[in-house]
Amino acid sequence: MTNALLPTGFRDRLPPEADASARLVRAILDTVAGYGYERVQPPLAEFEATLTAGLQVSGRELLRFVDPASGETMAVRSDITGQIGRIATSRMGHHPRPVRLSYGGPVVKLKASQLRPEREMMQVGAELIGLDSVAAVAEIINAAIDGLKAAGVTNITLDLNLPDLVDLLAAGPLPVDDVAQLKSRLDAKDVADVPAAYAPLIEAAGPVEEAISRLRAFDGSGLLADRLQRIEAIVALLPDDIVITLDPTELHGFDYQSWLGFSIYAPICIGEIGRGGTYRNGTEPAVGFSAYIDPLIDAGLARGDRRRLFLPYGTPAADAAGLRAQGWVTVAALSADDSAQAQICTHILSDGQPVSTKKD
């Protein structure tokens, strides 16, 4: 059926993947709720001018259309972070700071990347608006790590980075003509094409303690002293069972981030499974994280135990309720000749007892 085809980068999630998606979202959001983050649900689409205003997102990256009701250009969100900032500033502007908000929902990219061919993704995260201190950053990172652990992720690596480091150095002791070009070359680890004064930044990347030591040796002016002390303080507040690295030249796509960014990795997936950092939400400091759970679904996490019990026609409703209370998923026959559902069940109720349908 040609009318059943989906656009490039979009797909249906069928059982058990759709169930896994719901479990992963719930695991992360329930975890951050324990840290005091309250859930909000911004709309999938907004006026383009509103959607791009908060964190200066480029309209070129958005799927746009004309709203027939107002005649205004609307856009489908590609990132929920800016929407959370809008809510915190406007609808919840009267709340005591910092305000803690969480979210989960789909986002749509205008174009896919080579690493991520999907254009529609499920984004889950939390934002702390009004503070970007050591304690605030440590709380967000811990909430992110605990949420991913609750979703079943193990062997986590946290990679810290310094988004505005080049801007800081270029405006001070190491001026350059083209900051954007230098950032790109440093991100590509192109040592031969960067000024000699900046080359040590590439070589500084590594385990966090070693990277900080190299950056201190590089920082003859003391410009980075306070920042490095803050990073050490943050690391001291993080769990011991994760690997922590620092790459001062890494850029991971969020142009609006300020003094600290981070990416989260795990062997189960190729590429990052979460990212976050500090930023400015208008005039307010803020810090947050986002997790993209589609790679986790593809890796088989949260599939769950599909114990489905077929109930023959006429099984008393009270018996069925009792079995569900024991944790069974019950699939009831709705007529005397309704037996096809038994084929997709792991057990069948026989003489009041669940019996496995699996043949030895």
Tokens 């324990």 -> residue? 34
**Rounded mean pLDDT, 19-35:** 96
**pTM to 2 decimal places:** 0.92
State the pLDDT at residue 205.
96
State the pLDDT at residue 197.
94
Token couple for 299? 């890796």
**For residue 360, is pLDDT > 80?**
no
State the pLDDT at residue 149.
97
End-to-end CA distance of the chain: 39
Q: Considering the chain, what percentage of its residues have pLDDT values greater than 70? A: 97
Instruction: Give pLDDT tens digits for 285-333.
Output: 999 999 999 999 998 887 777 789 999 999 999 999 999 999 999 999 9
**Rounded mean pLDDT, 120-127:** 97
Instruction: Give pLDDT tens digits for 51-92.
Output: 888 776 666 779 999 999 999 999 999 999 999 999 999 999
**Rounded mean pLDDT, 4-32:** 92
Q: H/E/C letters for each residue in 37-58? A: CEECCCCCEEEHHHHHHCCCCC
Average pLDDT, the chain: 92
Q: Helix 134-150 vs helix 17-33: angle between axes, to the nearest 10 degrees?
A: 150
**Rounded mean pLDDT, 239-249:** 96
Task: Report d(CA 313, CA 332) in Å as an integer.
Answer: 7
